[in-house]
């Protein structure tokens, strides 16, 4: 079979395309730019990146916590807050949950970078955590002062910011 110029061009183009795909498929996450708190990723905003000593830390792959870009609408008592966060399906993810008190404190520490939190200059804004003190009381945090405290699960209402791991 005689190789025409057109056949050679097609073959060369196919080889170049194949080589490009191979290179793209073998690129590793190490080639990717490192993630940063406040950046968009995993359906929300990065709230925390695991550091050496954190459970689950891997020096080869970044892992951490993603916060939803906004609070769930309204305020909730604790059982409803827990259920609402776990029901959330957003941006292709369904593994959202109510943060524990340590994760909630990480959100408070980076609230400016994450954005979208409720504000009231005259009043403390209370957010629920999933951490329980006992059967009747759970932990939450004021996002004006940063103070964490326990309160009655049923009589207190608070805001909810769902999180998910990455």
For the chain, which domains are there? 33-165 (3.10.100)
- What stretches of 70-149 show up as alpha helix (H) in DSSP? 78-87, 101-109, 111-114
Q: In angstroms, rounded to a whole number, what is the distance separating the alpha carbons of residues 32 and 121?
A: 40
Strand partners of residue 49: 64
pLDDT in tens for each of the 166 residues of the chain?
454 545 544 444 444 444 333 333 333 444 567 899 999 999 999 999 999 999 999 999 999 999 999 999 999 999 999 999 999 999 999 999 999 999 999 999 999 999 999 998 889 999 999 999 999 999 999 999 999 999 999 999 999 999 999 9
pLDDT at 27: 38
pLDDT at 103: 98
pLDDT at 32: 64
pLDDT at 8: 47
For the entire predicted model, the pTM comes to 0.78
Read off the tokens for 152.
Answer: 């009655």
pLDDT at 33: 72
Task: Tell which residue, 80, 101, 95, 83, has the closest CA to residue 163.
Answer: 95
Q: How many Cβ atoms are within 10 Å of 55's Cβ, its own excluded?
A: 5
pLDDT at 74: 96
Q: How many Cβ atoms are within 10 Å of 69's Cβ, its own excluded?
A: 15
pLDDT at 28: 41
pLDDT at 68: 98
């Amino acid at each position: 079979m005689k190789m025409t110029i057109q056949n050679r061009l097609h073959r060369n183009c196919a080889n170049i395309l194949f080589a490009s795909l191979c290179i793209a498929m073998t690129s590793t996450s190490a080639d990717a730019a490192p993630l940063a708190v406040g950046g968009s990723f995993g359906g929300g905003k990065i709230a925390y990146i695991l550091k050496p000593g954190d459970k689950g830390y891997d020096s080869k792959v970044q892992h951490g916590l993603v916060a939803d870009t906004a609070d769930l609408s309204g305020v909730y008592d604790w059982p409803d807050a827990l259920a609402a966060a776990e029901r959330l399906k957003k941006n292709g993810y369904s593994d959202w949950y109510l943060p524990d008190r340590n994760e909630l404190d990480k959100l408070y520490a980076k609230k400016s970078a994450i954005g979208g939190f409720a504000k009231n200059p005259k009043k403390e804004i209370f957010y629920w955590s999933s951490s329980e003190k006992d059967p009747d009381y759970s932990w939450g945090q004021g996002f004006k002062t940063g103070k964490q405290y326990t309160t009655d699960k049923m009589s207190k209402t608070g805001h909810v910011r769902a999180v998910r791991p990455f």
